[in-house]
Structure 1
Amino acid sequence: MKAGLIRFATERPRTVYALIWALVLATAALIPQIQIDTDPENMLPEDAPARVFHNQVKADFALYDSIVVGAVAEDGIFNPQSLATMHQLTDAILKLDPVVKADLMALSTSDNITQESPGTIRFEYLMKQAPQTQAASDAIADAVARLPLLNNTLVSGDGKAAAIYVPLYNKDDSYQVAEQIRSLIADLNPSDTYYLTGLPVAENQFGHEMFVQMAISAPLAGAMIFALMWFFFRSIPLVVAPMLVAMATVIATMGTLIGMGYTVHIMSSMIAIFLMPIAVVDSVHIMSDFTDRYRAGDDAKAVIREVMGDLFNPMLFTSVTSAVGFYSLMLTPIPPVQIFGAFVGSGILLAFIVSVLLVPAYVVRMKPATLVAMQARLHGQNEQGGLLARLLPRLGRFSVRQSKPIVALALVVLVFSAFGISKIQINDNPVRWFKSDHEIRIADNALNHHFAGTYDAYLVLTDTRPLLSAAQLAELQPLLAQALPNDGEAATLLEQANGEALASLISRLDDAAFASDSDAQLDAIDALLPKLETLSEQSRRFLDPALLAWMANLQDDLNQSGLVGKSNALPDIVKTVNRELHSGKDSDFVLPDSAAGVAQTLLQFQSSHRPQDLWHFVSRDYRQGLIWLQLTSGDNQHMNAVIDHVDQYLTAHPLPQGLEADWAGKAYINVIWQDAMVNGMLESLLSAFVVIFVMMSLLFRSPLYGLIAMLPLSLTIAFIYGLVGWLGKDYDMPIAVLSALALGLSVDFAIHFLERTRSIHRQTGQWRQTLSLMFEEPARAISRNAIVIALGFTPLLLAPLVPYITVGVLMASIMAVSASVTLLLLPAALALLARWTLPQDAPHHNDAQTETGGSHA
């Protein structure tokens, strides 16, 4: 295969061009179909239990993702001008189509609950019209303070801020709606400061900016790589070839991903940035070796064939091992990470194929005069001695002379890294994907400073007790057969035995009683109805005052924990209505003594302007309820602390019999996928280590060389992640996936170094001379590659998005560390183990220096 590919590339360059152009054009045509996806929920498979339950809770309780619009007035929000602006803005937002108008929460759409007379409640809008006086504004403030569901949710506890919660039918519309709201605010020109926040806004804003960043960073990375290669090789025509390889690889990979119907997530958006520098690695090796061997008057075709013959196997193995590093990400249970790993790994293999075809085809078609001019410039530069040419031989001598201290230092670094890794904190938050001075971050900080929190989590309580025992079902089935003969659907409803099914069955029996003229049937209905109504009443678990009291106690504990800004639940509604049904005084802000009393309060609430709000806290069959927790942070660590606190509370105060508790909400979903990612990454990393070690041992036909080849990647990964721990940087998604990149590229350098060392040693037979020659052109090629890749990522440092900056910083660090470890630790290890790795032998060629002039690095 090797000889055939090389011959094809050098004998039929025009055909190579045509094939690559066809690939690029075909895949580029698919790119306009791109679909952006920044929803963290998609980090979990659609059938993941936590995600299924989360979506079920949203459906059962009619919960929507919301944009939070907040106004802050340092002198107080309760003044006629501020409230008039809020009223106007609310009216304008209600006209936007994607908004769930019935559930929009604002001062002008929420009810004030007061006592009209003993036993009679009055529901009226808090702010049906904007107040004209300060006294009217103060009256609204006093009313909100008496309503626990609104206080510190709709208006801040300090009275300086008010909010509008804008629910959306489809959270994908959040960027569009947010832009419209910003435009409405600009038109109103308010005197107060307005902010927009909420996870849907952050996620879709990131998607918009991510799309822009893709269009900017990849070309900038390409320009930086082009400039670096020109600096090293001083020939624009020659460095065009690697750039063509990189562009063809990126376009073909991204076009294929989009054409296969995959959405571009935060991870896959980085594929182009990752592949741009990686795709030129093999080209740099080829160019470095070619420019070192070629002399004026040589046959370029013969030289490039010789170069490709020497480099093909090392490039193949480095490409395969790098691809394995990324393919290992497919073992994680995170779909976007799986896609990222699959396409970066495939892109690396594609880059290898394109490199071994396009670069030789390009070289053989270069004009002899261009090659002569290039060689003259490089020869002159080498005669003067470049910086790398001066420093690397000294580094080689140092690594051999100080081999024992270097190995000892590596062990110290490993211990240092191990302690750092133990300090790593797993955390992610979509809002923190933006820089601290971004409007999203500023809004998030401002509103969470004033309010109880803009992040949601839901503790869902479910009554799991069956409504009917087997004996009760056996007793009722004959009665049902008499009451509704030949009604299979009625029999099914009885067997389902849930609150909704019982209500439907009771309705059927009522209808049958009116329509029947059969005494036997009426007797059966009269016997069955009371039993079913009793069961229905008993099934309404969340009308039980004892259960509501337990929930209220849990709420009090959470509110006092310092972890939760505020909790909202059914007991708050019941207490508020109960107070107004009686004296209207705080002494009656308590739960009724009976289920009938609870039912009366909720029946009264149904007369409000927002009766649907009840079903946000309890299911219609009253067998499931939730506690809405408002958090001031979307960090995983914060949510984990809340979960741990609730677990401790449940241990000390067990759930009432028959109840189960579970979590839903975006803050909780983030915790689940983060945990899945960490465990998946660990599994994929260990699997890739084993696979690469086996590959190295087979490549070098020596387990010892396989172990030595693993040193750079092992130390690099340990050091980088240890440094993350010591610096207190959160372990998030971009940092997690960089382990695959560190693994792939670190072993790349090791393979080239060791393969070239063995090749030179076969000629010299002397380990000292071998290592000395290694720090000529081979070490320069490794150094150039490390510099090109590291600096190729520097444009990411200018990005407004933190994940891109993180990738840029860590990529430069990974390249610097892995290249340093390769050039320091590997020769030190080879020198210490020279008896087994580089045994003294007679050289196989008399002119070893000439024979080893080319590079396999």
Structure 2
Amino acid sequence: MKLAIDMLLHVSTHKGRWVYFFLAVITAFAAFQMRLIQIDTDPENMLAESHRARTFHNEVKQTFSMHDAIVVGLVVPEKGAKSDEAISGIYTPDALAAIHQVTDHVLAIEGVISQDVMSFSTVDNIKQGSDGSLEFSWLMASPPETASASAELQKSIERLPLLYDTLAASSGNAAAIYIPIADKNESYRIAQDIRAYLTNVDTAGQWHITGLPVAEDQFGVEMFVQMAIAAPAAGAMIFILLFLFFRNWSLITAPMIVAMATVIITMGALIGMGFTVHIMSSMIAIFLMPIAVVDSVHILSEFSDRCKPGENAGKVITHVVEHLFKPMLFTSLTSSAGFFSLMLTPIPPVQIFGAYIGFGILLAFLITLTFIPAYISRMSPAALSKLQVALHQNEEADNNEGSTTLLKRTVTKLRYIALNHRALIIAVFGAITLVSAWGITQININDNPVRWFKQDHEIRVADRALNAEFAGTYNAYLVITDTNKSIDAIKVLNEANLPSSLDEWVEQTQVSINQSDDANKMSELAMRIDDALFSNLDDDELTALDNLLQVVDAANGNANTFQQPAVLAHIEKLQAYLDTQPLIGKSQSLVDVVKVVNRELRSGNEVDYALPANNRGVAQTLMQYQSSHRPQDLWHFVTPDYRQTLIWLQLTSGDNQDMTNVISLVEDYFANNPLPEGLSYDWAGKAYLNVVWQENMVTGMLESLLSAFVIVFVMMVLLFRSLVFGVLAMLPLTITITFIYGLIGIVGKDYDMPIAVLSALTLGLSVDFAIHFLARAREIYKETGSVPDTLDAMFDEPASAITRNALVIALGFTPLLLAPLVPYITVGVFLASIMAVSALVTLLVLPAAMVFLKRWVFKGA
């Protein structure tokens, strides 16, 4: 190992141009790959493509022709018409004309599923005609021009539960347009098109655009901008801080080159290998920037301490790197292990994030080991002489009374506290750890893509406004399936014992049945029998086919599960229960369609707003509904074979915690009110998928953290060849993780995706400081043989290097606090907290613990 290090350092210090060349070529090639970047912010991709919840969700979308939707809403804050008190709120002619105008524009936008757009002007009014027949007419074929026409429109909407509180708010102050789109990745473009058009729509009130597809796609756009701003801003801040510490532009350029090269090569490798840039991987640059400069700061700190005027810089930097190689190697290995452990989670974007951060850490170690020596050894004699004199003068100035730097004064105070109040330190940090452990039990696991934006962001404003007015803009689908074996049409046909004279007809019918969809085979058989009954048949043939038709009709009646009133009654009771729950704004199902049509078929009065008494009555209502302008809407609620149905739940909150509670409500209901035998239920919808990946993330992160903790502990024992030193090295890590996550629970911050991932960063950086502190303490003790002298010396260069690193990382990412995206702000705040806590624990708790355990730590003391 030593021979390999010596050869590497020899090449770096004597063949620096080759180091520059290879680093430049690799970095340029990686940068060239970034032209292929693809942004992905779809939370659905937090689950593997083969995950059961994801595959079922996509099956449901395809089966019921459900699409991701953008919600456009117009909110009129105050009731009251300008000139006519008979109408108010959203039902003024001006507001209705604006809705009609915007709808016409939406229907013409490329990528919009126009036939499924829901707006006042695209849906049917279902009512009884003047002659008692059922009448389907456009709800708003053209905007009403009079107050009486507007009032009539309002009455019609209030009679249609499928529209009331979905398209028109019950307050009368808001109207919505639901815009299904073919590709959710186009939602930002479509939303921008609508925003631009709305600026030219003259009407009272405020327009809002929301929906999970818009939030996710807009986050991708803003994330891309943030990537281009946050990383350079953080780099600039780190550069300024390094200059304040080392006071030499040439010297501090080296770690910045290391950091930028590490970020560019890592991101270029990720993009070049075909991976999309998810919200997780977008943070790779933010995470790698501080980690990449850590080793450089340690090297520069010791170099500035050892380099004196007249000394050969190449020899000094070689000695420094040899001296720091082992602790730098193990800090890199332990930090990368913390992130590689994320590959154990069942979430693909987190796996990719962990893999590339781990790779980036090892890459930064290699670049630091080669580039920093090459850079310093190749500095011009004049620049090197100037650097050595400046460093020497700074050291002398720092030693003059009254001239110490803020860093020196800080380290001196920490030295005094650590060496004179050991018992108090142990007691205080012990109490903090206990309180933090309790705080961890108070953590709320929750996430919501809309809350990735700040409170005043237009997405958040729209989300609050529309969910306050309507039943909810978040969707969950409860799917009920008949799992009983379907009737075999071919078998029914073959068992009919038809006369031999019908053999040719039977063969042709078998071909027709086999060519039809599985859901329509029995219907195909019934149609073939109907056609045959009108042809020239003898009495025996007619009797046989008539008997077969009765068998088929009876079978179809039993097979069409969700045409049976008893089964629909179960769904009706479930909906009545759900509609009483505050978390659920509204539910819609096939039951609502049947009851509305049944009412208008009979009397048009509310007394007939009920389920028909028999299968034929249900079938008649559905047949009538299919003569409307939007017959396809029926298949959003039921499959053509009537063996699977969907209940659409509208939720006013997209928080995972609320969706989890809704799932529990349904489970409790079915536990007390079981579905009929053979029926089962499952969930789909974005709100449900978010719950699934959140649960997977929490479980996966916990498993990865525990496994990484064990791996790092074993590595510490092997590094120091001591169980005691291994335990000491884990102290800062353990206390920091406990404190950070305890604080999250105490202050009520939701445990979301960025918070979960920070555990890996906490593990890597916290143990970094401990390794350097303990490794240097062991070396100094071998030289001095004195515990007091060892600890005193530890608060010179080693403590200064640790403090510099903590400040560089903590303060270097303050630009993130100005980001418009909450995950970036979260990372900035907790990065600073992690660095401050882990540095304090290392510089205060470790010395105190080492003195209390000096019999085992310092053998022979």
Q: Scaled by the length of structure 2, what TM-score is found?
A: 0.94
Q: Secondary structure at the match of 1:202?
A: helix
Change (3 A) 1:516 1:303: farther
Is residue 2:229 matched to residue 1:216? Answer: yes
- Written as runs of structure 1 = structure 2, the 5 A alignment for 1:473-622 is 476=495, 490=510, 499-504=519-524, 506=526, 530-622=550-642
Shift of 1:395: 1.9
Return the alpha-carbon distance in structure 1 between the equivalents of residues 392 and 107 of structure 2: 73
Shift of 1:472: 7.3
Q: Secondary structure at the match of 1:458?
A: strand
Change (3 A) 1:240 1:569: same
Of 697-706 and 189-198, more deviation after overlay is shown by: 189-198
Q: Show the counterpart of 2:376.
A: 363
804, 811, 816: which one aligns with 1:784: 804
Q: Show the counterpart of 1:427.
A: 446
Q: Show the counterpart of 1:395.
A: 414
Shift of 1:184: 1.0
98, 101, 112: which one aligns with 2:114: 101
Q: Secondary structure at the match of 2:357?
A: helix
5, 11, 15: which one aligns with 1:12: 15
Is residue 2:350 matched to residue 1:337? Answer: yes
Change (3 A) 1:57 1:410: same
Shift of 1:498: 5.3
State the percentage of identical aligned residues.
Answer: 56
Return the alpha-carbon distance in structure 1 between the equivalents of residues 348 and 498 of structure 2: 52
Flag structure 1 segments of 5+ consecutive residues without an equivalent: 842-857
Q: Show the counterpart of 1:649.
A: 669
Q: Show the counterpart of 2:704.
A: 684
The answer to whether the Cα contact below 8 Å between 1:494 and 1:505 also exists between their aligned partners in 2 is no
CA RMSD, Structure 1 to Structure 2 (Å):
2.5
Return the alpha-carbon distance in structure 2 between the equivalents of residues 822 and 271 of structure 1: 26
Return the alpha-carbon distance in structure 2 between the equivalents of residues 509 and 311 of structure 1: 89
Q: Scaled by the length of structure 1, what TM-score is found?
A: 0.94
Q: Show the counterpart of 1:436.
A: 455
Return the alpha-carbon distance in structure 1 between the equivalents of residues 472 and 278 of structure 2: 27
The answer to whether the Cα contact below 8 Å between 1:327 and 1:342 also exists between their aligned partners in 2 is yes
Shift of 1:716: 0.4
Return the alpha-carbon distance in structure 1 between the equivalents of residues 496 and 833 of structure 2: 72
The answer to whether the Cα contact below 8 Å between 1:483 and 1:525 also exists between their aligned partners in 2 is no
The answer to whether the Cα contact below 8 Å between 1:483 and 1:509 also exists between their aligned partners in 2 is no
Return the alpha-carbon distance in structure 2 between the equivalents of residues 473 and 702 of structure 1: 78
Q: Secondary structure at the match of 1:280?
A: helix
Return the alpha-carbon distance in structure 2 between the equivalents of residues 626 and 663 of structure 1: 10
The answer to whether the Cα contact below 8 Å between 1:79 and 1:134 also exists between their aligned partners in 2 is yes
Is residue 2:62 matched to residue 1:59? Answer: yes
201, 205, 209: which one aligns with 1:196: 209
Return the alpha-carbon distance in structure 2 between the equivalents of residues 111 and 489 of structure 1: 38
AA matched with 1:778: P
Is residue 2:337 matched to residue 1:324? Answer: yes
Shift of 1:389: 2.0
Q: Show the counterpart of 2:82.
A: none
- Written as runs of structure 1 = structure 2, the 5 A alignment for 1:681-830 is 681-830=701-850
The answer to whether the Cα contact below 8 Å between 2:489 and 2:522 also exists between their aligned partners in 1 is no
AA matched with 2:45: N
Return the alpha-carbon distance in structure 1 between the equivalents of residues 356 and 706 of structure 2: 20
The answer to whether the Cα contact below 8 Å between 2:259 and 2:289 also exists between their aligned partners in 1 is yes
Shift of 1:647: 1.0
Q: Show the counterpart of 1:143.
A: 156
Shift of 1:327: 0.5
Change (3 A) 1:145 1:298: same
Is residue 2:68 matched to residue 1:48? Answer: no
Change (3 A) 1:692 1:480: farther
Of 372-381 and 46-55, more deviation after overlay is shown by: 372-381
The answer to whether the Cα contact below 8 Å between 1:426 and 1:730 also exists between their aligned partners in 2 is yes
Return the alpha-carbon distance in structure 1 between the equivalents of residues 145 and 153 of structure 2: 12
Return the alpha-carbon distance in structure 2 between the equivalents of residues 494 and 97 of structure 1: 38
Return the alpha-carbon distance in structure 1 between the equivalents of residues 732 and 504 of structure 2: 78
Is residue 2:91 matched to residue 1:72? Answer: no
1:231-280: per-residue Cα shift (whole Å, max 9, x none)?
10000011111111011101100011000000000010011111112111
Q: Show the counterpart of 2:473.
A: 454
1:85-135: per-residue Cα shift (whole Å, max 9, x none)?
111111111111110000000000111111014651111111101111111
1:680-733: per-residue Cα shift (whole Å, max 9, x none)?
000000000111011100000011111111111111011000000000000000
Change (3 A) 1:352 1:133: same
Return the alpha-carbon distance in structure 2 between the equivalents of residues 610 and 469 of structure 1: 32
Q: Secondary structure at the match of 1:188?
A: coil
Return the alpha-carbon distance in structure 1 between the equivalents of residues 395 and 463 of structure 2: 56
Return the alpha-carbon distance in structure 1 between the equivalents of residues 261 and 797 of structure 2: 28
The answer to whether the Cα contact below 8 Å between 1:484 and 1:512 also exists between their aligned partners in 2 is no
Q: Secondary structure at the match of 1:279?
A: helix
Shift of 1:377: 2.8
Change (3 A) 1:301 1:557: same
The answer to whether the Cα contact below 8 Å between 2:309 and 2:392 also exists between their aligned partners in 1 is no
AA matched with 2:684: A
Is residue 2:392 matched to residue 1:379? Answer: yes
The answer to whether the Cα contact below 8 Å between 1:288 and 1:781 also exists between their aligned partners in 2 is yes
Return the alpha-carbon distance in structure 1 between the equivalents of residues 636 and 675 of structure 2: 21
Change (3 A) 1:701 1:596: same
Q: Secondary structure at the match of 2:717?
A: helix
Return the alpha-carbon distance in structure 1 between the equivalents of residues 535 and 331 of structure 2: 82
Shift of 1:663: 0.7
AA matched with 2:155: D
AA matched with 1:412: A
Flag structure 2 segments of 5+ consecutive residues without an equivalent: 80-88, 399-403
Return the alpha-carbon distance in structure 2 between the equivalents of residues 521 and 232 of structure 1: 102
The answer to whether the Cα contact below 8 Å between 1:35 and 1:264 also exists between their aligned partners in 2 is yes
Shift of 1:522: 9.3
Change (3 A) 1:191 1:476: same
Shift of 1:492: 12
Return the alpha-carbon distance in structure 2 between the equivalents of residues 748 and 496 of structure 1: 66
410, 415, 418: which one aligns with 2:434: 415
Change (3 A) 1:31 1:116: same
The answer to whether the Cα contact below 8 Å between 1:323 and 1:344 also exists between their aligned partners in 2 is yes
Q: Secondary structure at the match of 2:311?
A: coil
AA matched with 1:681: M
